[in-house]
Amino acid sequence: MNFLETEDVVKQYAGHLALNKVSIQVPQGTIFGLLGPNGAGKTTLIRIINRITAPDSGIIRFNGHESCPEDIYQIGYLPEERGLYKKMKVGEQAIYLGQLKGLSYSEARKRLIHWFEKFDIMPWWNRKLEELSKGMQQKVQFIITVIHEPELLIFDEPFSGFDPVNADRLKQEILELKAAGHTIIFSTHNMSSVEEICDEITLINRSQVVLSGNVKEVRERFKNNTYILNVRRETGEIEELRVRKEDPISNSEWLTKLASQYEILSFTEEIPSMNDIFINTVSGTNTPKA
Partner 1 sequence: MSKIGLIIKREYLRRVSKKSFILLTFLTPFLFAALVFVPLWLSSIKGDEVHTIAILDSTGKYAPLFEDTETYRFINSDQSMDTYRQIPDKEIFAFLAITEDLLENPKAATLYSKKQIPGELSRLVNMTLKKQIESDKLATFNIPNLKEIIKESKINFNIQTIKWGDDGSEKQSSSVVASITGVIFTMLIYMFILIYGGMVMQGVMEEKTNRIIEIMISSVKPFDLMMGKIIGIGFVGLTQVFLWAVMTFILITGGTFFLGGGTESEILRSSMALNTAPNITAIAVQQSGNEWIETLNTINFTEIGILFIVYFIGGYLLYSSLFAAIGSAVDGQEDTQQFMLPVTLLLVFALYAGIYSMENPDGPLAFWCSMIPFTSPIVMMVRVPFDVPLWEILLSIGFLYISSIGFTWLSAKIYRVGILMYGKKPSIKEMLKWLRYK
Q: Which is nearer to partner 1, 36 or 76 (CB)?
A: 76
Looking at residue 207, its amino acid is: S
State the Cα–Cα distance between residues 129 and 133, nearest whole angstrom.
9
Q: Smaller CB distance to partner 1: residue 90 or 144? A: 144
140 or 203, CB closer to partner 1? 140
Euclidean distance between CA atoms 258 and 246, whole angstroms? 13
Considering the complex, what minimum distance in angstroms separates the CB of residue 141 from partner 1?
A: 8
CA 272 to chain centre: 18
Got the DSSP string for 49-110? HTTSS--SEEEEEETTEE--GGGGGGEEEE-SS----TTSBHHHHHHHHHHHTT--HHHHHH
How many residues are listed for the chain in this entry? Answer: 290
Cβ-count burial of 68 within 10 angstroms (0-12 exposed, 13-18 middle, 19+ buried)?
A: exposed
- Cβ proximity to partner 1, 79 vs 272, nearer residue: 79
Least CB distance to partner 1 at residue 73 (A) = 8
Q: How far is the CB of 199 from partner 1 (least distance, A)?
A: 24
DSSP string covering 194-229, please? HHHH-SEEEEEETTEEEEEEEHHHHHHHT--SEEEE
102 and 65 in contact (C-beta within 8 Å)?
Answer: no
In this complex, which beta carbon is closest to partner 1, that of residue 52 or of residue 265? 52
Shortest approach of partner 1 to residue 230 CB, angstroms? 50
When the beta carbons of 36 and 79 are compared against partner 1, the nearer one is 79
Nearest approach, Cβ of 101 to partner 1 (angstroms)?
Answer: 5
Identity of residue 69: P
Supply the minimum distance, in Å, between the C-beta of residue 84 and partner 1.
Answer: 5
CA distance 195 to 223: 15
Local structure of 123: helix, strand or coil: helix
Cβ proximity to partner 1, 69 vs 181, nearer residue: 69
Query: Which spans of this chain sit near partner 1 (rule: CB under 8 A)?
Result: 14, 47, 50-54, 56, 69, 72, 75, 77, 79, 81-86, 88, 96-97, 99-101, 144
Task: Kindly state the smallest distance separating residue 186's Cβ from partner 1, in Å.
Answer: 17
